[in-house]
A = this chain, B = another copy of it.
Amino acid sequence: MLELGQKARAAARLVSRAESGAKNAALEAIAAAILADRARLKGENQKDLEAGRQHGLDAALLDRLELTDARIEAMAEGLRQIAALADPVGAISDLDYRPSGIQVGRMRVPLGVIGIIYESRPNVTADAAALCLKSGNACILRGGSEALHSNQAVARCIEQGLEQAGLPANAVQVVATTDRAAVGELLRLQDYVDVIVPRGGKGLIERVTSESRIPVIKHLHGVCHTYIDDQADIDKAVKVAFNAKTQRYGTCNTMETLLVAEGIAAQVLPLLGRQYQDAGVELRGCERSRRILPDIRAAQDADWDEEYLAPILALRIVDDMDAAMEHIDRHGSQHTDVIITESFTRARRFLREVDSSSVMVNASSRFADGFEYGLGAEIGISTDKLHARGPVGLEGLTTLKFIVLGDGHIRS
């Protein structure tokens, strides 16, 4: 791993200076190589799938692991989309004259070397490599052992594309070992790696956070709330609350708890209850809510903190917006929280006072992602506060340095 780190550091210097044209050419060449190598990719992927079946991976994991034609095409298309994004590197902002006569501004620059640790899906290899490359960073990618052959096959395409574009092949290194100790070594390469991005389950994130000597951009979990205020428009409330839960169950921006103001509960809950029931969503409600929907299961204390990632929804009636914000503050994970209201004053307060990476008015929490926000692809959604909060795209993989222009200026 030390050697990987040293090579990455050396490559980082070169890609940080690479022109946009060269980086885009590499991304296009990688996309072309992936399409041209389709048969080999599927062959290598087959090895992973067979090994997975032998090791008894469940059907959902096997499905995520599989590289179909459609997924291979999507992978290439993803690379081209990243090529089409604006290059953030080198942009100078806020360049102003100071009273001393010097000009002071800020230049956006790459972070350096990014270590990414991820699980199962082989398309992450192409995605993550492309985001790091476009933002001028070198990266070390450590995928899951289930996808070893697939990831190595993608790695060959990346190498080929980099070389075609005259960029250093070491700008993207995919770790070829499945040894778990390699992760520990990567997390201690603080002299060569500038930031670690773990992408995977809670167990992985917690291991990385506790072991890493390198700053981590992490995404812990999403316990997202929708609060239906008593000044909500009922149609919008039903539409948004239904979408936030049911549009996809397994994503971190899916609503897990619905909070409803006492004053509107009797109007809105019967409508919503029926829709959830038809969609097969299990409701777990507080005592007050069960007076309106008597057939639903009683919520336990633990339900308020649960990220179900499943067709289950916790439901609580609260006195007012302050009680809702208190609930969110205590039980939320600072990911994405929503108010449905027509009240300007409450919307204004909710936006300011709720301390989450995304705070929304009258919109589904499912919008909280990089594409919907216009960032392009994302490397993850950060639930940290420092550096990057919410969806992390190209900009989150860069930082700002100060630049100073003078004409022989000295400090007196």
Using a CB–CB cutoff of 8 Å, the interface residues on chain A facing chain B are 13, 16-17, 90, 96, 98, 100, 102, 104, 107, 109, 111-112, 194-195, 215, 217, 233, 235-236, 239-240, 242-244, 247, 329, 347, 351-353, 355-364, 366-368, 372-374, 384-387, 389-391, 399-412
Contacts and interface: CB of A to CB of B under 8 A. Distances in A.
Contact of A409 (B362, B402, B406): B362
A406 B247 contact: no
A269 to B, nearest CB: 18
A361 B405 contact: yes
Contact of A239 (B195, B364, B372, B410): B410
Nearest to A329: B13
Output the residue of A16, A104, A235, A359 with the most chain B CB within 10 A. A104
A357 B402 CA distance: 6
Contacts of A100: 367, 372
A402 B358 contact: yes
B362 A406 contact: yes
B359 A406 contact: no
Contacts of A104: 372-374
B401 A358 contact: yes
B362 A403 contact: no
A409 B363 contact: yes
A239 B385 CA distance: 43
- State how many copies of this chain the complex holds: 2
B406 A363 contact: yes
Contact of A352 (B107, B353, B390): B107
Contact of A355 (B112, B239, B407, B409): B112
A374 B406 CA distance: 15
Q: List 6 A-B pairs, minimum CB-CB distance, nearest first.
A: A363-B406, A236-B408, A243-B410, A360-B404, A387-B387, A366-B411
Contacts of A404: 358-361, 363, 367-368
B351 A107 contact: yes
A329 B112 CA distance: 13
A22 to B, nearest CB: 15
Contacts of A16: 353, 355
Contacts of A402: 357-359, 368, 373, 389-391
Contacts of A367: 100, 102, 404, 406, 409, 411
A240 B411 CA distance: 9
Contacts of A384: 215
Nearest to A104: B373
A359 B355 CA distance: 35
Contacts of A387: 386-387, 399
Contacts of A368: 402, 404
